[in-house]
Amino acid sequence: MKTRTLLLGTAALLALAPAALAERGSDGHVNIIYWQAPSILNPYLSGGTKDVESSSLIIEPLARYDEKGNLVPYLAQEIPTVGNGGVSADLTSITWKLKEGLVWSDGTAVTSADVVFTGQYCMHPEGGCAQLAKFEGVDKIEAVDDLTVKITFKEPKPNPYLPFTGGQGPVIQKAQFENCLGAKAPECTEANFGPIGTGPFVVTEFRPNDVIQMKANDKYRDPAKPAFATLTFKGGGDAAAAGRAVLETGEYDYAWNLQLAPDVLAGMAKAGKGVPMAAFGSLVERLEMNLTDPSPDLPEGERSTAKHPHPILSDMRVRKALSMAIDRNLLVEIGYGQAGRPTCNLVPAPEIYASDNTDCLVQDVEGAKALLEEAGWTDTNGDGVRDKDGRKLSLLYQTSTNAVRQDFQALIKQWWAEIGVETELKNIDASVFFGGDPGSPDTFQKFYADIEMYANNFDGTDPEPYLSAYTCAKAPRPETQWQGENINRYCNEEYEKVLAELSRTGELEKRGELAAKLNDMVTKESYVVVPLVDRGRVSARSNSLGGVILNTWDSELWNIADWHRIK
């Protein structure tokens, strides 16, 4: 009996504990370090992750994605669906209702006019809004009443949740940004550096590319939150330094995106001041095969265009053999550790969209060799490199400069050497590689190489825009100033048919099936895209920081209002 009372007492204490802690600002100061420093707090003017995530402490969208990829209402009362009448049955409009009694940090009320204004701000033709794609297909946004906003689309939209959700779609205050439309957007430095928001924190000092000081928003809708009175958001340095500051010296409480070698991270974690956490999203490190000929002998303007098919990689057997020779498990072990898992899919998540394709996970060197023999590539002169019709099986393999990618290059080069493929490696500074400068030969879009490696993902949880990259029209070529998302120059009528079907389908299960089919068409059925690693996000928190739930579908700091100090 006595023990039971004791237990009950403890249970009661435990239940009470959060309540006792829950008082705004009672936990003092929290330090966050991002090794990329935020340059602006307006995500509509910069699409950089660092800017989106830092601003997510201050401004909020109507709804966010949680750690499982489900939408949860933030400024909205509930998530509109066809079921509750929020989404029209023909999928051409969505109606959001704001929570009642919301106020901005300056004390004025949040109304539907602010939401409508945010839409105008981003859709202004001269504004250069980074999140414009979220508003694609939007016909009009109108305020039905003070708390109700209706978004009408030009045509049925199976995924109507793009505008005003997630870290990239926060609502900004009309009163503050009214004079910042279009070309005037960059002139509003004060607003861009200190937006008035509804989030748990407000900016007290912003030093671009360096540090942000914040304090708790005393108008925040939950009177008990946030637990921290002040916050420092430091930027700069590199991932190793950020990891060290949390895991080894304990100077900081939270470090973002620790892209470090697994043994280095484990070594840091041994110091015992904090823990690394991992979560997976849709980021996939992959090899992209060039289906067109990048030979420097071709005249400029014809290199890497559909005019000349690739002399080696046009044969699917070669592409498949290259994929079979790779041991993805070892790549994960060496490069990512807990932050990676081998994958054969372009769309690895969410579950309903992911294909069950796993046949690439086992390395098969002999199979790869046999396949190359079958394709007519044999080593006629005994130099260890296969050839056919006087042409050596030799490939140029490029990627951006990054320690893990260079390790991958070295390993893959060796595996390919085993099956008789000679590889020349090249690495390019990331700001050039991922830049779209049409004058540079080294951009990933121009693809003046046979194979290239990088990682890509999609926003939110719907892969449709991501899969629609692989259409003939989106191939980068001189006429498009070398812009375009179809890096491989993949062109398949059947694929485009299925894609069109996907864009007409609203039913979730059917969408999942179609997406998986598209995924399989570019991966296991053609090996145009050769996925390697499903890359998670690793961030670290100090032992005393509680309430952190790592989320890859939205800003990592999505639930910062719930963070608290463990005592």
Residues between 170 and 229 that touch another protein (CB under 8 A) = 183, 185-187, 189, 192-193, 205, 207-211, 213
**Which of 32, 46, 80, 339 forms a contact with another protein (CB under 8 A)?**
46
Q: Residue 38, exposed/middle/buried by CB under 10 A (0-12, 13-18, 19+)? A: buried
Q: Does 422 bind another protein (CB under 8 A)?
A: no
Site for another protein in 326-355 (CB under 8 A): 330, 334
Three-state secondary structure along 37-51?
A: CCCCCCCCCCCCHHH
Toward another protein, which CB reaches closer, 159 or 314?
159
Cα angle value 249/250/251 (rounded, 5°): 90
- The label of the residue with tokens 């001041």 reads 273
Q: Does 48 bind another protein (CB under 8 A)?
A: yes
Site for another protein in 481-510 (CB under 8 A): 481, 483-485
**Which of 18, 236, 367, 547 forms a contact with another protein (CB under 8 A)?**
236
- Distance, in Å, from the CA atom of 118 to the CA atom of 112, rounded to the nearest integer, reads 10
Smallest gap, in angstroms, from Cβ of residue 128 to another protein? 3
**Which of 27, 30, 32, 39 forms a contact with another protein (CB under 8 A)?**
39
Q: Does 45 bind another protein (CB under 8 A)?
A: yes
Toward another protein, which CB reaches closer, 95 or 363?
363
**Which of 130, 147, 149, 151 forms a contact with another protein (CB under 8 A)?**
130
The two tokens of residue 387 are 């050839």
Smallest gap, in angstroms, from Cβ of residue 411 to another protein? 6
Toward another protein, which CB reaches closer, 113 or 432?
432
Toward another protein, which CB reaches closer, 111 or 259?
259
Toward another protein, which CB reaches closer, 46 or 345?
46
Toward another protein, which CB reaches closer, 114 or 288?
288
Toward another protein, which CB reaches closer, 74 or 408?
408
Site for another protein in 59-118 (CB under 8 A): none
- Distance, in Å, from the CA atom of 45 to the CA atom of 530, rounded to the nearest integer, reads 33
Contact residues for 366 (Cβ-Cβ < 8 A; gap 6+): none
Separation of first and last alpha carbons in the chain:
30
CB 550 within 8 A of CB 532: no
Toward another protein, which CB reaches closer, 258 or 368?
258
Cα–Cα distance list, 335 to 405, 411, 540 (Å): 8, 11, 18
Q: Does 58 bind another protein (CB under 8 A)?
A: no
CB 368 within 8 A of CB 321: yes
**DSSP-derived 3-state class of residue 405:** helix
Site for another protein in 430-449 (CB under 8 A): 430-437, 439-443, 445
Site for another protein in 454-483 (CB under 8 A): 454, 456-459, 465-466, 480-481, 483
**DSSP-derived 3-state class of residue 520:** helix
Q: Does 324 bind another protein (CB under 8 A)?
A: no
Contact residues for 11 (Cβ-Cβ < 8 A; gap 6+): none
Site for another protein in 256-315 (CB under 8 A): 260-261, 263-264, 267, 271, 296
Toward another protein, which CB reaches closer, 435 or 547?
435
- Distance, in Å, from the CA atom of 287 to the CA atom of 451, rounded to the nearest integer, reads 7
Q: Does 47 bind another protein (CB under 8 A)?
A: yes
- Distance, in Å, from the CA atom of 534 to the CA atom of 331, rounded to the nearest integer, reads 11
Q: 370: part of which helix (H) or strand (E)? A: helix 365-374
Q: Find out whether the peptide bond into 156 is cis, omega within 30 degrees of 0.
A: no
Q: Does 8 bind another protein (CB under 8 A)?
A: no
